[in-house]
């Protein structure tokens, strides 16, 4: 079994199931922090999906997409941490 088939046949279903579970946490909540962590996890899983797809198809363009998405997610996480910090100071 070559690595491309292994990536598509094992990693993609695992990432897909994880994505569905993270989406369920996003919908169920119960509070804002849980939902933001779920959105962050969905973004991280999307990075993983882009990386696996890039390896499986030999297209490095998807790695660029993953890096840009990672930078945006990092900025979003920092912004949310700042929001939580400001909210607890009041």
Q: Give pLDDT, residue 84.
A: 84
pLDDT in tens, 36-60: 999 999 999 999 999 988 888 889 9
Identify the residue with better confidence: 33 or 70.
Answer: 70
Q: Give pLDDT, residue 48.
A: 94
4: pLDDT strictly greater than 80 = no
Residue 26 in contact with residue 20, Cβ under 8 Å?
Answer: no
Three-class SS of residue 20?
helix
């Amino acid at each position: 079994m070559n690595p491309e088939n292994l990536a598509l046949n094992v990693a993609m279903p695992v990432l897909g199931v994880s994505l569905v579970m993270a989406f369920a946490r996003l919908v169920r909540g119960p509070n804002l922090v849980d939902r933001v962590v779920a959105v962050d996890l969905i973004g991280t899983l999307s990075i993983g999906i882009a990386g696996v797809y890039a390896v499986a198809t030999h297209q490095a363009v998807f790695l660029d997409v993953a890096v840009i998405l990672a930078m945006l997610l990092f900025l979003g996480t920092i912004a949310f941490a700042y929001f939580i910090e400001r909210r607890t100071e009041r």
